[in-house]
Structure 1
């Protein structure tokens, strides 16, 4: 497999790339990750089964969109490919670290600028993509409440039902979600889609984003994900609000947007998230 990967990297960069070093990197739940290097440069390579190549293709497309934001660091995509033994994506290798308070503040400003400056007229994306290994439908829609209720909450509820999880009347939950968001028509911002601590870092003091699940939607969904499991430092949110304050009512919508990720974790990682999802549905739509 590695000879085939090296050859495809060579074709992409226009010179011979022979792997002299290969080091396994821990931390991923989905793919195997490696630092590989020749005598000239190091690359970050993720590998998986051959039938997972579409995940890498959609990741590459999302990284290309995020890279349009000049205030953010995004790893450059070298190539995506497959061979008989598997599929892979090769990225620029970046030395990542932690940020100071001032750098977190600037990171918040940069994310707000991305949300504001890269927008669409509709909600969705050109293609369906993935959040983790879960297919994420992205059919373009004009109405945000309908988009989120149907293609986010409704889709995850359908997957959960197929896996045998009991979450009540899905049609009722979808209607309740659409009603709760009724009249909220935010700017369709470019979203990272899975904005949490594991998908961001600092490179030379600048905020870096990776592992996206991009689409165009309410910027509040990124912010809600960022607070779900382990909120980012306060300076990040101060910087964001200084650049583009969140709209009134965000506190009510935050839980609805977090529900999407809780349901996705249920579908990805199993029943340990079931009770949390059940409680969240009751809390949001029955109280």
Structure 2
């Protein structure tokens, strides 16, 4: 496997890449992660089974789109491909470090500039992609309420039902979600799509984003995810608001947007999230 990776990486870089160092590192729940190096540079490599290549293709596409914005740093995509039995993604290696309050503030500003400057006329993305290993549909739509109700909440509910989780009348919840968001037609901003602490860091004083699940949608969904599991430091939100203040209605929409990620965790990790999803559906949509 490693011979194949080094050869392909060398072809992509335009020079020979002979691995002189290789170590496995913590890389999340989905992929194996390694740092490899030749005499010139270190490279971060994700590895999975060969049929998982589509995950790496879509991750590379989203990272490239984020990089093109020039608003916030992401690791450079060096190459992705397959060996006899594995798929892999090779990225620029970044040494991450702790951040100061001012750096979190700057991160908030940069994210707001990304959201404001990178927009589309419709909601969606060029291709369907993935959030974790869950397929994420991105068919272009003009109506935000319908897009989020059908392609986010409805899709996750359908997957949960197929896995045997009892969440009630799916059509009722989809209609209630569309009703709750009706009239909210925000800019279709380029999103990270899975913005929690595990998918960001700081390198040489700069904020860095990675592991995106990007699409064009309501910027508030990124902010909602940032508050779901382990809220970012307050300076991040101060920086964001200084650059592009949030609408007061965000507080009402936030739990609806967080529900998407709770349902995805239910589908990825199982029943420990079932009660929370049931409760959130009742609280947000009961009586709609």
TM-score (ref. length: structure 2): 0.99
Q: Does 1:131 align with 2:131?
A: yes
Distance 2:176 2:28 in 1: 35
Q: Which residue is 2:22 aligned to?
A: 22
| CA distance in structure 2 between the partners assigned to 1:72 and 1:257 by the alignment | 23
Match of 1:207 in 2: 207
Rounded Cα–Cα distance in structure 2 between residues aligned with 1:216 and 1:162 = 27
Give, in whole Å, the separation in 1 of the partners of 2:65 and 2:268: 26
Partners of 2:225 and 2:239 in 1: CA distance? 17
1:102 partnered with 2:102: yes
In 2, the alpha carbon distance for the partners of 1:147 and 1:260 equals 12
Structure 2 residue runs without a partner (length 5+) = none
CA contact (8 A) 1:99 1:202 kept: yes
Deviations 1:182-211 (A, max 9, x none): 000000000000000000000111110000
SS of match in other structure, 2:43: strand
Write the deviation string for residues 208-247 of structure 1: whole angstroms up to 9, x where unpaired: 0000000000000000000000000000000000000011
> 1:160-175 counterparts in 2 under 5 A?
160-175=160-175
Distance 2:82 2:222 in 1: 31
Q: Which residue of the partner structure matches residue 156 of structure 1?
A: 156
CA distance in 1, matches of 2:102, 2:93: 25
Deviating above 4 A after TM superposition, structure 1's stretches of 4 or more consecutive aligned residues are none
- Secondary structure of 1:68 counterpart: helix
* 2:176 aligned partner: 176
Q: CA deviation at 1:286?
A: 1.2
CA distance in 2, matches of 1:277, 1:16: 51
**How far apart, in 1, do the equivalents of 2:98 and 2:265 lie?**
26
1:85 Cα deviation from its structure 2 partner = 1.6
- SS of structure 2 residue aligned to 1:123: coil
> Which residue in 1 is equivalent to 2:40?
40
Separation in 1, partners of 2:281, 2:244: 30
Please give the secondary structure, in 2, of the residue aligned with 1:94: coil
Unaligned runs of 5+ residues in structure 1 are none
SS in 2 for 1:152: helix
